[in-house]
Each structure stands twice: as structure tokens, then as C-alpha cells.
Amino acid sequence: MTVNPTQFTAIYSFDFTQDGKQSRTIYFIRLRLECALITDYYELLMSQIAKRIIFTGQVQGVGFRFTALSTANRRRLTGLVRNLTDGSVEMLAQGDSADVDDCIRDLEESFAGYIRETKIEDVPFSPQLKNFRITY
């Protein structure tokens, strides 16, 4: 939803007594709000999601993490990818919902012969993650 910039006019009327005379003063205050920018930023934040994905199968030692890094960077995602001790790979992907889903789909297609199972869960978005990286 995009809000057009809106113009508000507020009129304030004050009655007061000064030097024994009653006086009425009216103040006109015009305020122009640029709501569109605020709304666009809010919509951007609200469209950002985070998913934790566990890939199992023969996913270590086949270039999976480097492909995940490249795919995530192409889609401008933030997060991380790392090997787990049980032989699986964990990925935390954050960004636009469609981009996260497309990244997962691209990895599943690229490693179709290696991935046995993909488990996906929604997790809270973490704005502290500023890029996508491989961790060890």
C-alpha cells in the first residue's frame, strides 16, 4: 500500500486576557508530511523474511556452500551458510520472500542429485546481518 504525500492544516484558537482586554488569536499551522517514503520503508521491512534451511544428503565437499553464497548474493540476501557435524548444511537466508524462495529452489535444482531432504522453518528476521557469508 502506497500513501500519497498528504497535506494537513491545523487551526488552533486561543482565548486569553492581556492587560485586562480579552483577545482571540488564531494560529494556522501547515504541515506537509512525506508519507510515501515512510510507507515504502515500512513495506520493505515488512516484506523481509528469514528462513532456516537444513539440506541433508551428500552436500559437503561438493561446492554447496560456495554455490549458496553466490546464489544468495545474486538475490541480495543476508545470512549465512555452514557445514554441520552430522554432514548436513545449514543456511539462514533473509530478504524478500520471493528471493529467499527462489534461492532455495535454485540450490535444490543445482544439487538435485546430492540433496536428499530440505527442511525449512521460518525464523525471526535479524537486521544485524548485513551480508551473506560462509561460516565455519
Q: Is residue 73 annotated as part of the catalytic site, yes or no?
A: no
- C-beta of residue 41 within 8 angstroms of C-beta of residue 102: no
In this structure, the number of other CB atoms found within 10 A of the CB of residue 70 comes to: 13
Q: Is residue 131 annotated as part of the catalytic site, yes or no?
A: no
3-state secondary structure 24-89: EEEEEEEEEECHHHHHHHHHHHHHEEEEEEEEEECCCCCCHHHHHHHHHHHCCCEEEEEECCCCCE
Residue with grid cell 510515501, as numbered in its chain: 36
Catalytic-labelled residue, pool 52, 73, 82, 83: 83
Q: Report how far residue 31's alpha carbon sits from residue 11's, in angstroms, rounded to the nearest whole number.
A: 11
Q: Give me the active site residues, please.
A: 65, 83
